[in-house]
Amino acid sequence: MTSNGESIGEAAARFGLDTHVLRYWEDEGLLRPDRDAAGRRRFHDDDSVRIAVILRNKAAGLSLEQIRVLLDEGAPDRHRVLEEHVAELDRRAADIAQARAMTEHALRCRAHDITQCPRFRRHVDDVLSGEARWLLLHTEPAHGAVHSAPPDGTRAN
C-alpha cells in the first residue's frame, strides 16, 4: 500500500469486493476512510484491518449491527453481543459435529437403506422428537423452494 493509501477501487479489489460494499459499510459507520484534497476516499492500514475484521466476522455469522458493536470499543453492550455470538458459535459447532458424525456413520454403514439403521437414526432423534435446536430458517433454501411448516407442525399445501 502506498503511504497515501489506496483508492476505493484498489481496496475493494484487494478484498474481492465491489466498491459499493465499502461505500455501504462507510454509510453504516463501519469504515471511516480519510479523504484526499479532491474528496476521494483513501484507505490506509487501519481501514484494511477493519475491512478484514468485517469480512471475517460476517463469515462467522455476525450481522453488520453486531460488527458495529464489536468495532465500537465504547459500546455499552459489546460484551453481551460477543457472549451471545460465542454461544451461537458453540451451538453451530455442536450441530456441525453432529452432522459430521452422521455423515461418517453413513459412509461406513452397511445398511442398504441408512434410514432403517438404528445407529444412524440416533443422529436424527432430536429432529424426530421435535427437540431440534436449530431454526427451520437455517435449513431451507434461500429462494424459498421448500415451504416452512406453520408453528403447529402441520404442513401447508
As a whole number, mean pLDDT of residues 64-79 equals 90
* CA–CA distance, 121 with 134 (Å, rounded to integer): 18
The four Cα atoms 24, 25, 28, 31 give a dihedral, to 10 degrees, of -130
Domain boundaries, the chain: 8-71, 78-138
Output b/e per residue, 20-45; b: 16+ Cβ within 10 A. Answer: eebeebeeeebbebeeeeeeebbbbe
**Domain at 8-71: CATH architecture:** Orthogonal Bundle (1.10)
Alpha carbon distance 93, 124 (integer Å): 17
pTM over cut 0.75: no
Cell numbers of 15, please?
478484498
Q: % helix / strand / coil in the chain, to the nearest 5?
A: 55, 5, 40
Phi then psi dihedrals of residue 147, to 5 deg: -85, 140
pLDDT in tens, 93-137: 988 998 899 899 888 888 888 888 888 888 888 878 877 765 444
**In this structure, how many other beta carbons lie within 10 angstroms of the beta carbon of residue 2?**
9
| Per-residue pLDDT at 59 | 93
